[in-house]
Chain A
Amino acid sequence: MSKLNQIIQAVFKLLLVLFGATFLLALIVRLLPGSPADFYTNALDEQGRQQQIKDLGLDRNVLSSYFHWLFNFVRGDFGPFFMSGGSTRPTSTIIWQAVPRSLLIMLYVQIISLLISIPLGLITAYRADKAADRVISTALFTGSAIPGFALALALGYYLGVRLQLLPTLGYVPISEGLGEHFKHLVMPVLSLSIPLCASYARILRAEIISTLRQDFVTMAVSKGISNSRVLVKHVLRPSSTSLITTAALNMGGLIGGTVIIDQIFALGGLGQQITFAVFARQYLALQSYIALIAVAFIVFTVVSDALIGIVDPRTRNKNA
């Protein structure tokens, strides 16, 4: 198979999944009992209602309303969001406001998790099976299994309510002050990065331990270079493929986690918007939100595969 052919095949599969996911959502939305129109529209009179139904493409069957939505989606028009009381907002404004916050939070979480987990993984692997390692490993395991919202609630209570150290609600954009921005984000980011960091450190540790047994590590050592150099330049890269894969896979869980954290700390990100849309029964807007998430997730997966290809040349040309 030629390289081009491979790429085309992969892209095709990807697109299939993308369309499938978004179509699935459209289908689910149609599952609502009764007329979908009852839930979506908020127009005050029958004529307005009919108009809104047309705008939403709900007067057609599933397939064509899906394409109608899709056509608008790729143009950036995410459809209307009908608020109670009759007013309408374009969903895109909601998205442009909420999504960057959530993305920022996820970015912070990943950065912090990686920053801490890499040295942690290195150190625990280097001192594997000594007493300190066993204790730390158990701590890491526990840390990785704790649900994010549990940490969020606990942190929120102790640091926020009892000790009053950090604010428990709200989001402050960077433009309004870096200090406040970070203060409001400390607990949300911590709640998500502790389990992630622990999980990364465990994976890295296992990979490094197995890499350390390889001959090329002894070879590198025998050149007379220092242990720290060997660890960083020779051991880290071959051990990182699992980590990258996991980081990408975790994006999905991270998105889910961000949703909950959003709600708990009232950060106004995509999480709150999704919940809001669910309760306001704005399922069409929901469709757009989730389509975005699915797209983002798939993009992350692709990026991580590419990254692995760069970091570890063994995985290139796998199917050649």
Chain B
Amino acid sequence: MSELLQVNNLDVRFDTARGLLHAVKDVSFTLQPGESLGIVGESGSGKTVLSRATMGLLTMSTAKKSGSVKLNDLEITQLSRSDLRAKWGTEMAIIFQDPMTALNPVRRIGDQIAEGPRIRLGMSKKDAKQRAIELLKMVQIAEPEKVLKKFPLQLSGGMRQRVMIAIAIACNPKILFADEPTTALDVTVQAQILELISSLRTQLNMALILVTHDLGVVAGHTDKIAVMYAGEIVEIAPTKELFSNVRMPYTEALLNSIPRISNESGVRLPVIEGRLPDPTLPQTGCGFSARCKYATEKCHTERPPLVDGGSGHMYRCFFPLGVNK
């Protein structure tokens, strides 16, 4: 198998005071080397938990994880903590939503970037410093030598995000998990950062898992898109295919709710009525059925399986749009 990452039936539950919270329900997907996958969903859909669970970063909390995650055919869910840790940084890396809280406020930028190469790649202080400068150049930060000595406080939001990216790619990971990398940024900076990530991807032949709630973000920068709802993947397809042949009513609703300049003024923005179902309650039927305008009796009672509609397009719906029964 030439797949870089294979996730099968990943399931995550949390023991909380309110009950058992089923955050990720039986999720499966694959990732080829250098491929970029977008995971789209509302807040609370489980997408963040999914990315962390895939990487194995959930080990410190009250999480119950099951399922399989194979990195280059190696089952990483069964690895010991130190073996798993050996994969972090060098094969998998993650960047977070808010660069202000994700960078250590009391340590200098240079130290934070150089730490990976020094500890994981065994570079000397001098070499690591050089590498840090190199990385800063790669993320298009001007005057890297000066920035090395600064503290996160002293940088702008966009620069901090670039620094975070530099830290993440420092050891040449094969997969980069980007957890809402642009949500905390201004719109203009968003585009720049996304461009940067894309170009780094091609430069380093790095696979990317881009987690976001913003369909617009994934539209231009991903090879394929997975739509998550209430802990499940409800639709997954190559990007162009998803946008032209949307099957799942939820995805359709998402697409419709993107504000466009071409929309008529004075017309209300289409919204998706209702809210996410309570993740502590067991799911009956399709998770989206309560809010779906096409829902039928069957939708409320039976859970739709993931159906392969051809050309890499899978969806979880009894009555997919545009498909004649």
Dominant SS at the A interface? helix
Residues of A within 8 A of B101 (CB): 214-216
User: Does A226 belong to the interface (CB within 8 Å)?
Assistant: yes
A223:B167 contact, CB within 8 angstroms: yes
Residues of B within 8 A of A214 (CB): 101
User: Does B85 belong to the interface (CB within 8 Å)?
Assistant: yes
Residues of A within 8 A of B164 (CB): 219
B103:A224 contact, CB within 8 angstroms: no
CA distance A237 to B119 in the complex (A): 19
Residues of B within 8 A of A219 (CB): 94, 96, 102-104, 164, 167
Which of B94, B98, B103, B106 is in CB contact (< 8 Å) with A222? Answer: B94
User: Does A220 belong to the interface (CB within 8 Å)?
Assistant: yes
CA distance A214 to B103 in the complex (A): 9
User: Does B151 belong to the interface (CB within 8 Å)?
Assistant: yes
User: Does B105 belong to the interface (CB within 8 Å)?
Assistant: yes
A222-251 contact mask (Cβ, 8 Å, vs B): 1 or 0: 111110010001100110000000000000
- A to B contact number (C-beta, < 8 Å): 81
Number of residues of chain A lying within 8 A (CB) of chain B: 21
User: Does B250 belong to the interface (CB within 8 Å)?
Assistant: no
CA distance A2 to B311 in the complex (A): 66
Distance (whole angstroms) from the CB of A98 to the closest CB of chain B: 40
Residues of A within 8 A of B102 (CB): 215-216, 218-219
User: Does B55 belong to the interface (CB within 8 Å)?
Assistant: yes
A259-292 contact mask (Cβ, 8 Å, vs B): 1 or 0: 0000000000000000000000000000000000
A311:B106 contact, CB within 8 angstroms: yes
Give residues 156-197 of A contacting B (CB, 8 Å). Answer: none
B106:A313 contact, CB within 8 angstroms: yes
CA distance A220 to B82 in the complex (A): 15
CA distance A224 to B116 in the complex (A): 8
What class of interface size applies to chain B in its complex with A?
A: 20 to 34
CA distance A221 to B86 in the complex (A): 11
B115:A225 contact, CB within 8 angstroms: yes
CA distance A219 to B107 in the complex (A): 13
A312:B106 contact, CB within 8 angstroms: yes
Distance (whole angstroms) from the CB of B4 to the closest CB of chain A: 18
Residues of A within 8 A of B155 (CB): none
User: Does B70 belong to the interface (CB within 8 Å)?
Assistant: no
A215:B98 contact, CB within 8 angstroms: yes
Distance (whole angstroms) from the CB of A102 to the closest CB of chain B: 34
Distance (whole angstroms) from the CB of B176 to the closest CB of chain A: 11
User: Does A130 belong to the interface (CB within 8 Å)?
Assistant: no
B104:A222 contact, CB within 8 angstroms: no
B60-96 contact mask (Cβ, 8 Å, vs A): 1 or 0: 0000000000000000000000100111111011101
Taking A237-B106, A311-B106 as contacts, is the C-beta distance between A224 and B86 under 8 angstroms?
A: yes
CA distance A22 to B92 in the complex (A): 63
B140-183 contact mask (Cβ, 8 Å, vs A): 1 or 0: 00000000000101000000000010011011000000000000
Given contacts A216-B104, A312-B106, 8 further A-B contacts (CB under 8 A): A218-B57, A222-B57, A222-B88, A222-B92, A224-B86, A225-B119, A226-B82, A234-B107
Which 4 A-B pairs have CB atoms at the shortest separation, nearest pair first?
Answer: A224-B89, A224-B88, A215-B102, A215-B101
Chain B interface (Cβ within 8 Å of chain A)? 55, 57, 82, 85-90, 92-94, 96, 98, 101-107, 115-116, 119-120, 151, 153, 164, 167-168, 170-171
Chain A interface (Cβ within 8 Å of chain B)? 214-216, 218-226, 229, 233-234, 237-238, 311-314
